[in-house]
Amino acid sequence: MAGTSGTPAAKGVPLQSDAYPGAPGAGGTSPADTGDSGTPAASGTGIRLSGVARQFGPVVAVSGVDLEVPLHSRLAIVGPSGCGKSTLLALICGLDEPNEGTIDVLGATTSADRLRRCAWMPQRDLLLPWRDVLGNAALALENQGVRRRTARQRVGHLVERFGLAGFEEKLPYQLSGGMRQRVSFLRTLVAGKEVLLLDEPFGALDSITRADLQEWLRTALDAEPRTTVLVTHDVEEALLIGERVVVMSARPGRIRAQFEVHLPHAGSRRELIRHPEFAELRDEILSLLEAVT
């Protein structure tokens, strides 16, 4: 398996390094803030949860969760499996309602309003097998009433930045796992939501592809900040992408600790992982996770 899965991943690398020099250029055309991406410039509340609890029958999935995610900042949630991380995301998203507590997403409190503000990306890519890359990516635009051809054209401009140039008309089964996930991510972003909720987005990928995409997502979010919540069981991933990391306990899921991540923004993934503060935080979170399970 390792041999076969290595091939598409290796293909992915040059595509991405092509995309990196292109990214600032793309940032130049739209007034993106590549310059001040060091700190999330915007202030104000993006997402606020207070006293949120959700139970399914006798099972308490999460309870007493208070969380705050400032506008345009990135929060990563780590925890043992079954701790209610995914439940929490579904609640924020508006796919589900809490039994107790309130959820506020940019002023929206009802589930229908929250759905309108949140984009959600699950672990599996869930692409439509009968639509090509452009068709899959344009799905949200078509749902919003944009005509098919216009939607495809609009998405077509973004394809290169996602390392998918030349694959516009390929069907999902013709793509590698990493590329499918990038199409899924593109589809999520194209919906144009202010809030991005990622539920173990790279969990189904091999480690090489995953490392690739982590670095790529980090760069993409630096270039175009969005209020992001990432759920993962991979501590490194949490530290790489999150600006804050929250540790949840096993069921019933509660928030055990919060960490601020202060790492140089410019560094590559490998540099960051070698950074002493990164190592220190990783050890601290890992030991906390061991205590929690």
How far is it, in rounded angstroms, from Cα 11 to Cα 167? 13
Q: Does 60 bind other proteins (CB under 8 A)?
A: no
| Among 26, 50, 68, 116, contact with other proteins (rule: CB under 8 A) | 116
Round to whole Å and give the CA distance between 57 and 139.
35
Q: How far is the CB of 142 from other proteins (least distance, A)?
A: 7
Question: Which tokens hold the place of 11?
Answer: 């293909």
Task: Indicate the residue among 132 and 222 with the shorter CB distance to other proteins.
Answer: 132
Site for other proteins contains 223 (CB under 8 A):
no
Spatial distance between the Cα atoms of 86 and 91, rounded to a whole number of angstroms: 9
CB nearer to other proteins: pick between 66 and 97: 97
Interface residue with other proteins, options 52, 175, 220, 281 (CB under 8 A)? 175
Give the number of other Cβ atoms within 10 Å of residue 70's Cβ: 18
Closest CB 97 distance from other proteins, rounded Å? 14
Nearer to other proteins, 140 or 241 (CB): 140
Q: Is 200 in the site for other proteins (CB under 8 A)?
A: no
Residue 136 near residue 167 (C-beta atoms within 8 A) = no
Alpha carbons 48 and 289: distance in angstroms, whole number: 24
Distance separating alpha carbons of residues 105 and 131, to the nearest angstrom = 32
Q: If binding is defined by CB under 8 A, does position 288 make contact with other proteins?
A: no
The minimum distance between CB 259 and other proteins, in angstroms, equals 28
**Using the rule CB under 8 A, is 187 a contact of other proteins?**
yes
> Alpha carbon 282 to chain centroid distance?
20
Q: By CB under 8 A, tell whether 106 contacts other proteins.
A: no
Distance CA 236, CA 155 (A): 31
Shortest CB 140 distance to other proteins, Å: 4
* Side chain identity at residue 10, one-letter code: A
Least gap, CB of 230 to other proteins (angstroms)? 16
Alpha helices in 63-176 (DSSP H): 85-93, 111-117, 133-137, 139-143, 148-156
For residues 114 and 251, which CB has a smaller minimum distance to other proteins in the complex? 114
Q: Using CA atoms, how far apart are residues 154 and 213, in angstroms rounded to an integer?
A: 23
Give yes or no for residue 165 binding other proteins (CB under 8 A): no
Q: Which residues bind other proteins (CB under 8 A)?
A: 1, 4-5, 7-9, 90, 93, 95, 115-116, 118-122, 124-126, 128-130, 139-140, 142-144, 171, 173-178, 180, 187-188, 191, 193, 204-206, 209
